[in-house]
Amino acid sequence: MSRVIALCFLLLAAVIGFLHIDSRPAWAPFSGNEVIAQEADETNQAQPESKVTAKTKVPSQPSIASPRTDWLPDTGAPSVHAASLIALKDGAVRAFWFAGSREGAPDVVINTAVFDPKTNAWAAPTVVIDRVGAEKGLSRYIAKLGNPVPARLPDGRLQLFFVTVSIGGWAGSSISTMLSDDDGLTWGRPQRLITSPFVNLSTLVKSPAVQMTDGRLGLPAYHEWIGRFGEFLRLDITQVIDKRRMSSGRSAIQPAVFVNEAQDATAYFRQTRSAGQAKRIPVSLTRNAGQSWQSATDLEIENPNSAVAGLTLKNGAHLLVLNNIEAGRYRLVFMMSNPKSGQWQVIEVLENDEALPDQERKEFSYPYLISASGSDAHLVYTWDRKKIRHLYFSSAWLDRAYSQLPVQSNAGSSIEVKEAQ
């Protein structure tokens, strides 16, 4: 009898969830924020760049200071991964990352620390949430935690999304979220996002959310169970009010979204293709603010089944950090593109262990980019699973790199849009 009652409650919850998600408010455009460049060419903005100068590096100039580098605070954990960043109201930057004995271990916790740009120093790290705290807050068994991603709500609160797993591996994940009224000093009780009214599993998050003009967030997410594809979730704080598939059947996960205009955006993905298939970056486009996404030809940059990070600056420059090799994660580069040129160029080789024997090569992975001013860039990435590296690129450094990019489009630089699958 109890099983019958439980089943009835489950079906009722599913119906309520379906009705909630299906009562879709009018779709709002992307927010016209600081990342939109007024002078960028409209035609090229709607199309991702495909021409790549993979080994080109913009020459350094002594008059411009080199990017500043340091490390996130050491917590004593043997393994760290999946760092993310967000700018705070006072001009500081807060980082999040997970740490433990290994990825997926029961002792993994999500940490946070604040970087003060005035002193160029990180404050002592604190624990945001651990597995036991997640279990108590969510009232369900939690086996592991991962992938923290922060966002800023229109009312000024911070929102933190993170991955929780109750059964199986990462394919059994769901997204949970917490809110903070004091810029991350304290957090409210975690809640689980309901991304499906029936089987609310296998939804993960890795990349920053985008703002919509109605004050809601667009959250790039991805699915790993029975197919690997990207999804675009439209959120009203902790409620999923809509979701759209971004990369159906393309073995493409962890979408990083470049907002070009109010209706136009481009998503680059981590490829998870089988042997023999192209190890390039899958691409999708939207011209209606995320309501629908069309697959496009791959970006002709190598990708070894590893995450990419993207960012657009005020001047229209697109930034991209990734492993630009077909296998391994021993090389990490910083690339830049002018939307008018149709070309990507490597402007800084961040890490490169290519000259070392295979067994001595380290892993450099999971980059995450933000801008605090709209013209600078903070970058964090995993360094051999033992540390998190932080780099700061000043406005002057990025402006100099941008000024040296080609400004004329090359023939054949446009992207072919494929029919929806």
More confident call, 176 vs 415: 176
Mean pLDDT of 320-324: 98
pLDDT higher than 80, residue 10: no
- Torsion, Cα 162 262 286 339, to 10 degrees, reads -100
pLDDT reported for residue 168? 83
Mean pLDDT of 179-183: 98
pLDDT higher than 90, residue 242: yes
Mean pLDDT of 41-46: 36
Rounded to 5°, angle at Cα 379 from 171 and 233: 40
pLDDT higher than 50, residue 371: yes
pLDDT reported for residue 101? 97
pLDDT reported for residue 32? 60
Contact between 335 and 347 (Cβ < 8 Å): yes
Q: Which residue has the tokens 């029936």?
A: 198
pLDDT reported for residue 416? 52
pLDDT reported for residue 293? 97
More confident call, 338 vs 175: 175
Pairing of strands 51-53, 343-352: parallel
pLDDT reported for residue 338? 87
pLDDT reported for residue 47? 40
More confident call, 227 vs 47: 227
The residue among 289, 263, 239 whose CA lies nearest residue 16 is: 239
pLDDT reported for residue 167? 85
pLDDT tier for residue 189 given thresholds of 50, 70 and 90? very high
Domain ranges of the chain: 2-27+35-403
* Minimum mean pLDDT range among 46-55, 277-286, 358-367: 46-55
pLDDT higher than 60, residue 46: no
What percentage of the chain carries pLDDT values higher than 70? 82
| First-last CA distance in the chain | 44
AA identity, residue 142: I
Q: In sequence order, which residues have a C-beta less than 8 Å from that of residue 104 and are 6 or more positions away?
A: 144, 146, 165, 169, 170
* Minimum mean pLDDT range among 56-60, 119-123, 182-186, 270-274: 56-60
Q: What is the mean pLDDT of the chain?
A: 86
The residue among 41, 69, 53, 68 whose CA lies nearest residue 396 is: 68
pLDDT reported for residue 8? 45
What percentage of the chain carries pLDDT values higher than 90? 73
pLDDT reported for residue 259? 94
pLDDT reported for residue 406? 81
Mean pLDDT of 76-90: 97
pLDDT tier for residue 55 given thresholds of 50, 70 and 90? very low
pLDDT higher than 60, residue 79: yes
Q: In the chain, how long is the greatest CA-to-CA distance?
A: 77
Contact between 202 and 225 (Cβ < 8 Å): yes
pLDDT reported for residue 165? 94
Convert the pLDDT of each residue in 91-141 to its tens digit: 999 999 999 999 999 999 999 999 999 999 999 999 999 999 999 999 999
Pairing of strands 239-245, 217-223: unpaired
Residue range 2-27+35-403 forms a domain whose CATH class is: mainly beta
pLDDT reported for residue 34? 40
pLDDT higher than 90, residue 334: yes
Q: How far is it, in rounded angstroms, from Cα 342 to Cα 51?
A: 6
- Assign 3-class secondary structure to the chain: CHHHHHHHHHHHHHHHHHHHHHCCCCCCCECCCCCCCCCCCHHHHCCCCCEEECCCCCCCCCCCCCCEEEECCCCCCCEEEEEEEEECCCCCEEEEEEEECCCCCCCCEEEEEEEECCCCEECCCEEEEEHHHHHHHHCCCCCEEEEEEEEECCCCCEEEEEEEECCCCHHHEEEEEEEECCCCCCCCCCEECCCCCCCCCCEEECCCCEEECCCCEEEEEEECCCCCEEEEEEEECCEEEEEEECCCCCCEEEEEEEECCCCCEEEEEEECCCCCCCCEEEEEEECCCCCCCEEEEEEEEECCCCCCEEEECCCCCEEEEECCCCCCCCEEEEEEEECCCCEEEEEEEEEECCCCCHHHCCCEEEEEEECCCCCCEEEEEEECCCEEEEEEECHHHHHHHHHCCCCCCCCCCCCCECCCC
pLDDT higher than 50, residue 194: yes
Q: How far is it, in rounded angstroms, from Cα 125 to Cα 269?
A: 31
pLDDT tier for residue 348 given thresholds of 50, 70 and 90? very high
Q: How far is it, in rounded angstroms, from Cα 330 to Cα 384?
A: 9
Q: In sequence order, which residues have a C-beta less than 8 Å from that of residue 139 and are 6 or more positions away?
A: none
Other beta carbons less than 10 A from residue 267's beta carbon: 26
The residue among 270, 245, 243 whose CA lies nearest residue 256 is: 270
